[in-house]
Amino acid sequence: MKPQIPNLPSNLVERYQDLHDALNAFTTEAAELHRRVPVTDDATQALFTALSRITAYSDQMQMVLALMGEDVRVTEEIGAGLGIGPQFETADIENCFYQWLQTSRKGGLAVH
């Protein structure tokens, strides 16, 4: 018996893109404020430090978001191929990530 695969939300890619755009806008604004803060007293030092941490966290979130983007592409590609999701435009990708994923699993790719 073939396992049932749940339907993919039709807006999964759009939600990912919204998340990506929101994080980019947030990061840009935080970085701009960080550059403009004059450190003249304890309060501005605390603000500068907080903005430094925010920009560092944003960098980490960008990396995680990039990995999530690869998973979203795989999900849309496989989902469209199985007929369980919307047909997304993946002409740029041309199945290369999915092929790489299959090849890496067969070849025993080691990740350190």
Q: What is the per-residue pLDDT across 26-80, written as a single tens digit (0 to 9) for each?
A: 999 999 999 999 999 999 999 999 999 999 999 999 999 999 999 888 888 777 6
Q: What does the pLDDT look like over 82-105, one tens digit per residue? A: 665 554 444 444 455 555 555 555
Tokens of 47: 């603000």
Question: Alpha-carbon distance 19 to 25, whole Å?
Answer: 10
Position 13 scores a pLDDT of: 84
Query: With contact defined as beta carbons under 8 Å apart, do 85 and 79 qualify?
Result: yes
Other Cβ atoms within 10 Å of 79 Cβ, number: 20
